[in-house]
Chain A
Amino acid sequence: MTKTAERRPVAHPPVRPLPAPAPAGRRRRRLADQARAHGFLLGGLLCFALFSWYPAIRAVVISFQRYTPGSPPEWAGTANFTRVLDDPEFADAWRNTLTFTLLALLIGFAVPFVLALVLNELRHARSFFRVVVYLPVMIPPVVSALLWKWFYDPGAGLANEALRLLHLPTSHWTNGTDTALVSLVLVATWANMGGTVLIYLAALQSIPGELYEAAELDGASLLQRVRHVTIPQTRFAILMLMLLQVIATMQVFTEPFVITGGGPENSTVTVLYLIYKYAFLYNDFGGACALSVMLLVLLGAFSALYLRLTRTEGDT
C-alpha cells in the first residue's frame, strides 16, 4: 500500500492511466502474457524438439528395431547390438577411435601447450602469431584433409620430400597400416591447434605475475616455475580442453573419410565412420543406431563430467 501511496503524485503519465484491473481481467492478461511468451519460444522449441530431443529418443528406440526406410519397423530385441558386436570391424573401429583420441591428446595437447608457453613470453608480433596459428582452423576441414592427402602422396608428396631433404628415411604415411592413424592425427592437430593455443594463451595471461616473482625469489628454476606455478594455475583450462578434445576426437569422421577411406586394412575406420557405413552402405539403420547409442552413452558420461567441472569451478 505504501508503494502506491508514494507513487501516485509523480508517476502515471497522463496518456495512459493504468486501469485498475478486475481479478478476471488480470487473469486474462496473465494468460495473454503467457501466450506471448510461448509464442516467442515456439520456433526454437519446435526445432529443438524435432532435431535434438526426438532424434535422441529415436536413436534408442531404433537400436532395438529392425529398421529400413520404407518398410514398417519390427522389434528386434538386442539383435542389432549382437550383430554389431560380432562385426570384426567393430573392434577395429573402437580401437582406432580410442588410439586416435589418445594420440591426439599426446600430440595435440603437449604441442599447443608448449607453443602457448613460448608465445606468451614473446614481446613482439603477438597479433601476427595469433592470426597465423588460427589460420588453419578457418580453412574448411575438407580442404585441410585434401591438402594433407596431397602432402602424404608417396610420389610427389611434400611430406616425403621434406624427409629426403633432411636425409631421413621416408614413410608410407597413410599407406601403411602402422602409420596411417598417426598421419591422420597429425592432420587433425595441424587443423585444430589454433583454438587450443588461443585458449591457453588467455589462461596464461590470467596468471598473476607476482607468483612468478615470488617463485623466482625462492630460487625456482625455469622448469620448476612451469611445474609449480604455470601448470597449477592453468589446471582448469587444461582439464577442460582435455575433456572437450576427448569428446571431439571420439567423433572424428572427415579425415578418415576423405584421406584414407578407412584403409589400409581398416586401420583408420572410426566409430562414426562405421555408423555412417551401417546407415548408408549396408542400409542397416538399426545397427547404425545401436552403435550411436553406445557412442552416446560413453560421450554423454564425458560431457556430464565436463558440465560438472564447469559448474563447480564457475561457482568459486
Chain B
Amino acid sequence: MTPDTRTLISPAALARPRGKALYWTVFTAVVVLFALAFLFPVYWMVTGALKSPDEVARTPPTLLPEHWRPGGYTDAWELMELPRHLGNTLVQAAGAWAFQLVFCTAAAYSLAKLRPAFGKVVLGGVLATLMVPAQALVVPKYLTVADLPLIHTSLLNDPLAVWLPAVANAFNLYLLKRFFDQLPRDVLEAAEIDGAGKLRVLWSVVLPMSRPVLGVVSIFALVAVWQDFLWPLMVFSDTGEQPVSVALVQLSQNVQLTVLIAAMVIASIPMVALFLVFQRHIIAGIGAGSTKG
C-alpha cells in the first residue's frame, strides 16, 4: 500500500462500508478485465502452440490443450530457422546499441562540455529531425543506404544498414546531452588538472556518473531495433539476413498455424524478459519523461 495521498475519491468515502464494497467490486472487475484483455491473449498464444493442428482449428476452442505437444516449439525452432533469425535480430540490436552508445555519447559530450564552434547549429539540426516523422522518410533513406553518396557502396543486407541510421537518433542524443549538461564542471576540470585528456575524462568521470541515463538510452535503443518492422523489411531482402520480425511475416503463409504461433511466442520472449527484469526502471522512465509540465 502506498501512503495515503488524496485522489479523486476521499479516503473517508472509501472507509465507509458502502465505499468498501464498491471499492472491492471495482477492484475485482479491473483484475478480471486486465486478466482477460492483457494476460489471456498471451496465455492463448503460449498454449495454442502446444495444441495439435486440428485442435487449434476446432470450434468451440479448448481452454487447455488436450495433449501437451511441445512439438510446435521444436518445429518452429527448426522449420522457421529461428536460431538464425533471432541471431540476426540480436546482431542488429546489439550493434545499433553499441554504435548509438559510442557515437551519441561522444557527440553529446562534445555538445555539452567541449564547446565546439557551430555547436548550437549542430544541436539545432539534430533537434529539427525530431520534427520529421521517421517513417515518412524511409524511402529516401532506403535509397541513400542502397547507394551511399561519394563512396557508392550499398549497405543493403548488411547489419550496418541498421547500425548506422540508429545513431541518427535525436531523442537519445538530446537525452544524453541534457544529462551531461547537469554534470558539475568543477569535477571535469579537476580531472583535467590531474592530467586527464578529454577522452579519459569522458571514460573515467562522465560515463560512471551517467549510469542512469545510459541505462535508459540502452533500453530504448534495444527495444527500438527489436520491435522495428518496416525498415528491416526494406533493407533485408536476403532471407538469410532477415531479423525475426520480418521472417515471421514472410513465412507466416507457408507454415502450420501451431508452428507459427510457437514462433511468435519465441520471438516475444527476449523483449518480455527484458521488460520483466527492468520493469521498475522502464515504467519509472515512462512516467518521468512525461510529467514535466
A residues at B contact (CB < 8 Å) = 13, 15-16, 33-34, 36-38, 40-41, 43-45, 47-48, 50-56, 58-59, 62, 69, 117-126, 129-136, 138-143, 146-147, 150-151, 155-156, 158, 161, 164, 190, 195, 198-199, 201-207, 209-210, 212-213, 216, 222, 225-226, 229-230, 236-237, 240, 247, 250-251, 253-254, 257-258, 272, 275-276, 279-280, 285, 288-289, 292, 295-296, 299-300, 303-304, 307, 313-314
Contacts and interface: CB of A to CB of B under 8 A. Distances in A.
A30 B108 CA distance: 20
- Binding site of A, secondary structure by majority: helix, strand, loop or mixed? helix
Interface in B1-36: 1-2, 5-10, 14, 23, 26-27, 30-31, 34-35
Interface of B: 1-2, 5-10, 14, 23, 26-27, 30-31, 34-35, 37-39, 41-42, 44-45, 48, 56-61, 102-104, 106-111, 114-117, 119, 122, 125-126, 129-149, 164-165, 167-168, 170, 173, 193, 195, 198, 202, 223, 226-227, 229-230, 234, 244-246, 248-249, 252, 257, 260-261, 264, 267-268, 271-272, 274-276, 279, 282-283, 286-288, 290-293
A133 B35 CA distance: 10
A131 B142 CA distance: 36
B293 A313 contact: yes
Given A33-B114, A307-B131, A314 B292 contact: yes
A24 B41 CA distance: 71
Contacts of B104: 44
B12 to A, nearest CB: 9
Nearest to A123: B1
A117 B7 CA distance: 10
A37 to B, nearest CB: 4
B31 to A, nearest CB: 7
Given A43-B103, A142-B248, A135 B42 contact: yes
B261 A132 contact: no
Contacts of A296: 132-133, 136-137
A178 B41 CA distance: 25
